[in-house]
Amino acid sequence: LIIFSLCLGLTCLSRFFHIKNDNYRISENHEELLIPPTPCHAKTNVMFLKTHKTASSTVLNIMFRFAERYNLTVALPADQFFHLGYPRTFMAHFVEGFETIGQNYNIMSNHLRFNPSEVKKVMAANTFYFSILRNPIPLLESSYIYYKNNVPAFRSSKNVNEFLASPTKYYHPADYRENIYARNIMWFDFGYDNNAEDDTKYTQAVLEKIEQSFHLILIADYFDESMILLKHTLCWDLDDVIYFKLNSRSQDTVQTLTPESEEQIKAWCSLDWKLYLHFNQSFWRRIEETIGHEVLEKEVDHLRSRQKELVETCLSEQEAVRKDHIRNKALLPFQSGAANILGYNLKQDLDNRTLRTCQKMVMPELQYTSYLYAVQHPHKKRKEVGLPLLWTSFQE
């Protein structure tokens, strides 16, 4: 009995040390103490505020693919709309099925003008909120080209430099709904008045409010770094944030800004400029406090290597092509203004599983929204994109 008790005690003691070894990792620096790992569970209730001309279509594609991977419910625009009421301030009933589904959506990422109280009616209490910003200087030039035919302030000027030389000559606040893309568009997307006076007390209050509403603000100018930070923050896998750049335009449609125009943008879009400067600082501070620059650099390299693998696997030309070179018109992105929006050609000999993965990565925003809508609401009339769609092959 004594020998049995001794053996049992040694077994328990051995199991105790085994458990400790399972739950603790030894630091590379042997002088440091054993460090317990941080428990990490992928966040699946996520709201992405999709801002304009900030690489947000690429982020939306990431969100949609994640939703499909985990069989999550996406808050999609009702009826034939592709935006959640934009540019009107968001209301919960803009979401298809809200009356019956209620606060049971996991993912929200289509364009909307932020209205936190109404968004909270749709999204769960533990939802993670994030958005993305871009330097207002290239953003305004991009907006000018993309919305050239739709915005009165842009339409009546010859080029972006002429517009910026005297913006008040072309821009009339009374036409604010048509002209929102011409001034402080990010400020507007966050739900605030893009024609408000740039008062220090007011802008500081808005910045603090945005910090309270959003857990993370990414920076489009550092997109790969943003994806790594997002991966860590949401506890996602690397393949969850792998992407092909979507809704980008051909380089020959980019207009060169004069130094005077660049300075004018800082003044003309001063609210956006302050917004960008504030969250650019918080972005890098967040990286320093969490993953650190050394780990960031390694993971960015890993992301780009994995991306290169998928480019070689999926794409016949290994890069984006102009709209008139896209063979499968079902993958043709929406064209707007004076921009030539690029798309992709997939390789012809892909097996079914690889083809499905590659198709989702290059699928433009309107087609993907329409496809998910058909899957989630099969008894509703499908959203009409005006292009051949891939539903049949996907459902098969």
pLDDT digits over 231-290, tens only? 999 999 999 999 999 999 999 899 999 999 999 999 999 999 999 999 999 999 999 999
3-state secondary structure of 128: strand
* Residue range 83-92, pLDDT digits in tens: 999 999 999 9
Both ends of the chain: CA-CA distance in Å? 66
Q: If you search the block for the tokens 């690029």, which residue do you land on?
A: 342
The structural domains of the chain, with segments of one domain joined by +, span: 46-376
Residue 331 CB neighbour total at 10 angstroms: 19
106 vs 79, 212, 215, 331, CA distance in Å? Answer: 20, 21, 16, 26
Q: Would you call the peptide bond into 87 cis, given omega within 30 degrees of 0 as the criterion? A: yes
Q: How far apart are CA 362 and CA 333, in angstroms?
A: 10
Looking at the predicted structure, is the pLDDT value of residue 31 above 70?
no
Q: Angle at which helices 270-289 and 136-146 pack, to 10 degrees?
A: 120
DSSP letter, residue 96: T
Q: Which residues, in sequence order, are CB contacts of 143 under 8 Å at separation 6+?
A: 52, 53, 151, 154, 181, 182, 185
Tens of pLDDT, residues 169-208: 999 878 878 899 999 999 999 999 999 999 999 999 999 9
What topology is assigned to 46-376 in CATH?
Answer: Rossmann fold (3.40.50)
The pTM of the full predicted model, rounded to 2 decimals, is 0.87
